[in-house]
Each structure stands twice: as C-alpha cells, then as structure tokens.
Amino acid sequence: MADTSRPRTLVEKIWDQHVVAQEPGAPAILAIDLHLVHEVTSPQAFTGLRERRLPVRHPERTVATEDHSIPTLPRERGLPMLDDQAAFQVAQLERNCLDFGIPLHGMDSETRGIVHVIGPELGLSQPGMTIVCGDSHTATHGAVGALAFGIGTTEVEMVLATQVLLQRRPKTYEVRVEGRLSPGVSAKDIILALIARIGVGGGTGHVFEYSGEAIRALGMEQRMTICNMSIEGGARAGLVAPDETTFEYLHGRRHAPQGAAWDEAVAGWRKLPSDPGATYDRTITLDASALEPMVTYGTNPGMGVAVTGRVPSLDEAPDDASRRALDRALAYMDLAPGQPIAGHRVDVVFIGSCTNSRIGDLRAAATILRGRRVADGTRLLVVPGSQQVKAQAEREGLHEVFLAAGAEWRESGCSMCIAMNGDQLEPGQYAISTSNRNFEGRQGTGGRTFLASPLTAAASAIAGVVADPRPLVDRRPVVVEGR
C-alpha cells in the first residue's frame, strides 16, 4: 500500500487513491472516474466491445459529444456535414451511444461543445478525479485539480469495458510561475513561454503541477488554457491544485455535488493540494512579470518568441539536428532567419479551440475588437467552445461586437484547430490562431500557423499582421474571467 504518512504531491494523492491493484512487475490497475468520448477516436473501440460481446461497464461514468467532424456554419444553413465519411462517423457515435446507454450531448443539444469545454462547464470534471478521453488535450481538466490525460483507442476500449487502465506511475514536474502578469499578457503566453523554454519533449514521462503566485491569481478558464497545452510540452497531464477559485467555479454546476454533498466534497478537495515538503522529480520556475505576449514562428509549439522578438537565426540552434529542424520549419513557414515576427501578414485569424474558446477568451477578444474593424483582406473566424458559451456570448452581445468588426460568428466545435470539418486554411495562407498546434498542415494542407493568445489574435486581426496587443488594452490587467 502507498505510504500516506510522508508528504505527497497532488498527483501522488490522486494516484494512490485510485490504485485498484498493483502486481509486481506490472503496471497499476488505475480506476477511472470519468470517461469522455468523441466521434473520432471511439468507433474502433466500440467495434472491439461488440466483437468481445462486452457491455460498457459504467455508462453513467461515461459521456459523449460531437466536436471534431461537425460543421460550425450557422444553423439556418442546415449544418451540412463535410462529407459522407464524417456523417457516417457522427452517425456511428450516435448509434454506439444508443446501443451502449451512454449519454450524448449531440448535434441538437444545447449542451454540446468541445469535449474539453463541456466537461468543466457541466461540472463533470471535479477535483481529485481521474479523467480520460481519447484525445491528447484531456490535460485541460487538470485545471480543476484532476489527474486527466489523453489515451489511445485501445485504451478507450479498455476503459469502456472495465473502467480501469493499466498505467505506470508518472514522474512529477513542478512548474512554478512566480510574479504577476503585465496587462495584455495572459495564460496562453505563460504556457507558450514554458514550452519555448523546455521544448516539445521536455515533459515526456512527467505530469506537470502548475503552482506559484501567477497561477493562483488566474481564473479557472485561464488555468484550463495552461493545463490544455501540457501535452505540447510532452507531459500527458498538467494540474493546478484546487482552491477557492476552483470551488467558486464548480459550485452550482449541473453535475457538481449539491447541498450537504457539496460541503462534504469541498472538505475532501481541501486535502488534495501538495503537502509542505513534498518533492517533485523536476522543478522549473518562470517569472510571470518578465513575460511578454508570445507568438510561435515555427512548426511545433516550442518554436515561440515574444511578439517583440525575432525569428531565430540558424546559428542560434544548439546542435545540428535542431539547426536542420529550424531550417525545415522556416522553409515551411517561408520566414527568414532573424526577421521580426510582428508585422508579418496574416490571412486568417482563428479564435477558438479547446485552448481558448471559453467565455473569458471571447470577452478578452471583444475588448480589443469593440468599435474596430478587421483589416481588409483578413478573415476572422470566432468559434465558441460550446453551445452554452455561444449562448452566453450572445446574451452579452459579444457576437454583435464580432459581427460589427467583420468577423464570422459560428456554432461551436473544434473547427479550424484540426481542420476536419471544412473550416481550413488554403495552401500558403498564414493564420494567427488561439489553438494549440502549429504543426505542418494542421489547419489545412499547406497552411501556416502562428499560435498566440486571444488578445494577440484580436489585435492581429485589426492590424492584418502579427501585432502586439498591449497598445490596445488599457493598463489594468484583463479581468474577463467566465465563471
């Protein structure tokens, strides 16, 4: 059994509580509290269940939605699917949910949305849980203090059949972010700065725990932005210890505990934060007050610089392999070594994705877009993370701000982050995106992506080029958090 008397980290506490069995030489059998399912990574798992004639062990701990393949065009245009294959995949999920008794937040549901937006929004994601999904951005749910990580389809089948996974205990990596963010600098800039520092493989084999003054000061949605991109730094999961901000966010949500059960749950959640004296396998410290808005210039999320910075020159690469990688990335991006990143043309601006599509992100973008116009020749796409986010934004009139600025206002979904639904770049186009991946072709074959925060994306939409948002934000820190 786990030694619970020594100081333990948040991750260790959640891990120890969920170990069902641990045989010598074998991975732990780890219980899973919540399994999120979407259309892209689940069909083969359901096929496996049918072949084995197995039911879903806990459909009431499983929840499904449709987000990757679905169209985001306005409803009056009938939400046509991109093609027959996408339509079949979505129909398949609906059939699978029906056959196996899994609740589905489907096409016509007011609670549909990107799986990593609706989990916290519905109060399904709670502190101390183990949460999995066939999707690498499952790390998002770590923002509520859950151990949440992405799995493959074979593991999806395992969880459907057994509600457990075979897992080795991960190493722990404390990411301390001290100091205070300056106005115009946000959570996205923290995570892009971290990944630029440690590289896309820097967290491999580890789980991040984000701590420090700057993290404590963030609202839940900004914490989700940071945890979401843990995987881009190589870590399968990233967590923030639950605190009053967490409890305030969850209180009253549809699936959060109610009444006496709420008080009992909060009392348990208060015991989760890492104990004084608990040790991590690795630690890194960032100074939030030194951060500027970040933009990526290359073809992985680790290739980022301050918006006031320049594309690196080849002789700055530490070794031959990095030099080749940089050379290849700059060739793909058609950028010159040493050129300033600000001022570069952008054809498309994408505000959306499981990283930055929540109400606070939309409010932040609206603070910049209000009373301004998107530059001629630039297309701005605003895609809310869920139908609930969309409805909230419309209650606040944010959609009118976006439409008046010349933006497209869409239904919720993954949209141009993964470009599976028809929302995509044309070959050669440049996008500045609030999403999480700037890989070659990620937003459309031949398309080129600069990753940035909603503030930077909005400022760039107005300028028509990569732009520093700070001249457009007032000097107060942006407090636009949704709850």
Partner 1 sequence: MTEPLAAFTSRVIPLPAENVDTDQIIPARYLKTTGKSGLAEGLFFNWRYLPDGTPRPDFVLNRPEMQGRAILLAGANFGSGSSREHAPWALLSWGVRAVISTGFADIFRANSLKNGLLPIVVSPERHATLFERLATEPDVEVTVDLERQRVTLGSSPGAPASARATAGATASGGATAGVPSAAGADADADVFSFEIDPFARRMLLEGTDEIGYVLARLPAIEAWESSNPARVNTLA
Write down the least CB distance from residue 222 to partner 1, Å.
23
Starting at the edge strand found earlier in the chain, the sheet holding 348-351 runs 408-409, 379-382, 348-351, 430-433, 448-451
Which uninterrupted H or E stretch holds 50? Answer: helix 43-52
* Cα–Cα distance measured from residue 260 to residue 169, given in angstroms and rounded to the nearest whole number: 34
Q: Which is nearer to partner 1, 102 or 461 (CB)?
A: 102
**Comparing C-alpha atoms, which of 330, 293, 337, 312 is closest to residue 466?**
293
Closest to partner 1 by CB, 34 vs 306, is: 34
Nearest CB to partner 1, comparing residues 185 and 330: 330
- Report the residue number, 3 or 23, with the smaller CB distance to partner 1: 23
**What's the min distance (Å) between Cβ of 146 and partner 1?**
9
**CB 23 → partner 1: shortest distance, Å?**
9
Nearer to partner 1, 52 or 180 (CB): 52
* Short-list 193, 198, 246, CA closest to 218: 246
Alpha helices in 242-317 (DSSP H): 244-250, 260-269
Decide if 182 contacts 287 (C-beta within 8 A): no
Helix 398-405 and helix 359-369, axial crossing angle in degrees, nearest 10: 40
Q: How far is the CB of 293 from partner 1 (least distance, A)?
A: 24
Write down the H helix ranges in 270-407: 320-333, 359-369, 387-395, 398-405
Least gap, CB of 330 to partner 1 (angstroms): 14
Comparison of 89 and 357: residue with beta carbon closer to partner 1:
89
Q: How far is the CB of 303 from partner 1 (least distance, A)?
A: 10
CB-nearer residue toward partner 1: 137 or 470: 137
Shortest CB 360 distance to partner 1, Å: 24
Q: State how far the Cα of 113 lies from the Cα of 384, in Å rounded to an integer.
A: 8
Residue 64 or 381: which CB sits closer to partner 1? 64
- CB-nearer residue toward partner 1: 109 or 367: 109
Are 216 and 181 in contact by the 8 Å Cβ rule? The answer is no
d(CA 180, CA 384): 28
d(C-alpha 422, C-alpha 191), whole Å? 28
**Could you please report the per-residue DSSP string of 454-482?**
HHHHHHHHHHTB---SGGGS-SS------
The minimum distance between CB 455 and partner 1, in angstroms, equals 25
* Smallest separation, CB 251 to partner 1 (Å): 15
CA angle in degrees (0–180, nearest 5) for 195-201-202: 60
Quote the CA–CA distance of 295 and 10 in Å, as a whole number.
31
